[in-house]
Amino acid sequence: AQSVAQPEDQVNVAEGNPLTVKCTYSVSGNPYLFWYVQYPNRGLQFLLKYITGDNLVKGSYGFEAEFNKSQTSFHLKKPSALVSDSALYFCAVRLNAGNNRKLIWGLGTSLAVNP
């Protein structure tokens, strides 16, 4: 079955430190990969996506993600965390097949950045 795993329910980092939120996937073929962020009482906001090419993708708010095909991972990173980055982060994949547009989601990782 196609699935996305976010192995950490919660990540805690100190402000100014680098952060990593992990994502691994189990899907067939070469999927497209996405990261979204969800703030309390607000909708999901798109951060970045991987389609093809350079394994390091840069996105909104200083976030970036590294695609690793051999490890089937797409970890989200930021060099220096801000308190305002505290939110719920979701990884999602889309199968690269025909007219498919369905996103398959992880369970989310809660990021807490401490001042």
DSSP alpha helix (H) spans, the chain: none
Q: Per-residue string for binding with another protein, 6-45, x by CB under 8 A? A: --------------------------x-x-x----xxxxx
CA gap 56, 65 in Å, rounded: 6
33: CB partners within 8 A, 6+ apart = 23, 25, 49, 50, 65, 67, 74, 91, 92, 93, 94
Among 56, 97, 107, 112, binds another protein (CB under 8 A): 107
Query: Does residue 97 bind another protein (CB under 8 A)?
Result: no
Residue 91 CB, nearest approach to another protein (Å): 9
Asked if residue 59 binds another protein (CB under 8 A), the reply is no
DSSP state of 84: G
Q: What one-letter code names the amino acid at 35?
A: W
99 belongs to the binding site for another protein (CB under 8 A)? yes
Q: With binding defined as CB under 8 A, does residue 115 bind another protein?
A: no
